[in-house]
Structure 1
């Protein structure tokens, strides 16, 4: 089968930029209700720059995705590996490659599957860790996984946030306090898990990539140069400054023991709140104005905060956006 049957691994894009993408979608080729063409059209309509094909336990079908890619729209190849004791996403795998799914945590075979994906340069994402159905709750150890899907939209089409996502976010937030000092922390991402009309892009991951290509997008996600948003109307700009040295999300900031000025600019969330979170939990919160645009400023030190990350919430407490951490040295 010619490689032209599959989408190209690189699009023209905008060079080094922030790109919006949904890396967990299903078409009629697994248990989704939309065709691949309908998914691509709807993804572009809601402002996405890329999506990943993640059919259950099967490779992307040849000849059904390639013609949908464009200069400004990238399609990554992937698979949702639906095991008996948890689901995970294999992103950036080779055409026609299938990752073994017919096992469970007690079989001890997970490392073989993770190695298979990593040999292809792919990314392994623990999906919906607290999904409320048999096999959906993630039982594998996170060692060997690259990313955690802390926000999954499948069960939230009538509301963008639920208790299962809240539990996943809290669990991930606690893990940062232990993992960042050892250099083993796993970035968070959010995806829609689209199966039906109206779900795609709710939520999605906004990643800084050197170009719009599979390799660059995965590198940005792996490094934590990303944030999660419920729609393209929501945006968060997040930086930390120490005596003129500036770092963004997913980066390390050398503080030399001085004060660190943290700033988050939020757009698209009227009347909500924006809060700072560190290894001491939530340490600061500010209200957003009714016009949907606001700036939060806060200061700390590396002695007080090993890292800082941002959450943006609606008045009802539902998440509108969140970021990966900036690490303070």
Structure 2
């Protein structure tokens, strides 16, 4: 259902000045004191900017962003996207890009036939539907809905490993998403991955976050970049990744298609900020190549394949203890 009409001036603008077409870093799963978080909106915005983020999304549980709270926290270089965490009995999902005061009904569950109309509501407004923390170990945390109709899967939620008993099983979510890529990539029905902090407490925001190539710093452009898979996930702003593939004189980046014309494909990755880590290349055949990074954390690695051998290529960057520091959406090879 839609909330009552509210003045848009009490909410953040849908567009910031930004840097034009660029890579922007953002955290799209954030809770404040207006749901079950411990930080005020002002504290969240301050810490997000300190973490190197260009945008955040407000995703309070089953409620709209409070009017008159977030508007003054946006800036020329900082976008605030309106959203909601829809907390159902059989899984949670993020509705991103909602209108001011808009609420998506949470009272549905797998098998009752209501999820479709809720997804349609978000899509009619140009919004994005994200399957949240598919393997969270608490009641209703496991995502039981089919991914059909959802645009994106949150494969990385919060710190990769944690002693907290409620921390999402990111390894399981990543493995499940990897299997779905292998099944869906050739049909074009694949769903991009994203990562968010699910911030509730001090010190969580931006760990991890999604780095998206957007035409501008606006809700529409950021969501379009995430929807198309032109994005990768970073543990923090200290980690940077460049990922490209080249064939027959053409090049493609993350989330894009590359026509190899039957020839060799040269896949390259450049990584900064992960000392003595590893970079692994993944296709529908699983992990196909692994390279160690030097002690200073900066390294460039290459791998060769063909479109016949590999329908896609993506990379994971892990720290020496196995924790993921970055992972990308795929480059599709044809």
TM-score (norm 1): 0.98
Moved more, 251-260 or 102-111: 102-111
Alpha-carbon distance in 1 for matches of 2:34, 2:80: 16
Alpha-carbon distance in 1 for matches of 2:9, 2:314: 41
Does residue 83 of structure 1 match 2:88? yes
Runs of 4+ aligned structure 1 residues displaced above 3 Å come to 154-159
Alpha-carbon distance in 2 for matches of 1:48, 1:154: 17
Query: What does residue range 1-329 of structure 1 map to in structure 2 within 5 Å?
Result: 1-153=6-158, 156=161, 164-329=169-334
Alpha-carbon distance in 1 for matches of 2:259, 2:71: 44
Alpha-carbon distance in 2 for matches of 1:32, 1:156: 21
Alpha-carbon distance in 1 for matches of 2:302, 2:214: 26
- Which runs of no fewer than 5 residues in structure 1 stay unpaired? none
Between the two proteins, the alignment pairs up a number of residues equal to 327
RMSD: 1.2
Alpha-carbon distance in 2 for matches of 1:279, 1:170: 12
Contact 2:247 2:260 in 1 (8 A): yes
Alpha-carbon distance in 2 for matches of 1:243, 1:152: 38
TM-score (norm 2): 0.96
Contact 1:154 1:194 in 2 (8 A): no
Contact 2:135 2:168 in 1 (8 A): no
CA deviation vs aligned residue, 1:84-131 (integer Å, no higher than 9, x gap): 000000000111110010121121110010000000100000000000
> What's the offset of the Cα at 1:156?
4.8
Contact 2:214 2:224 in 1 (8 A): yes
- Which runs of no fewer than 5 residues in structure 2 stay unpaired? 1-5
CA deviation vs aligned residue, 1:6-63 (integer Å, no higher than 9, x gap): 0000000000000000000000000000000000000000000000000000000100
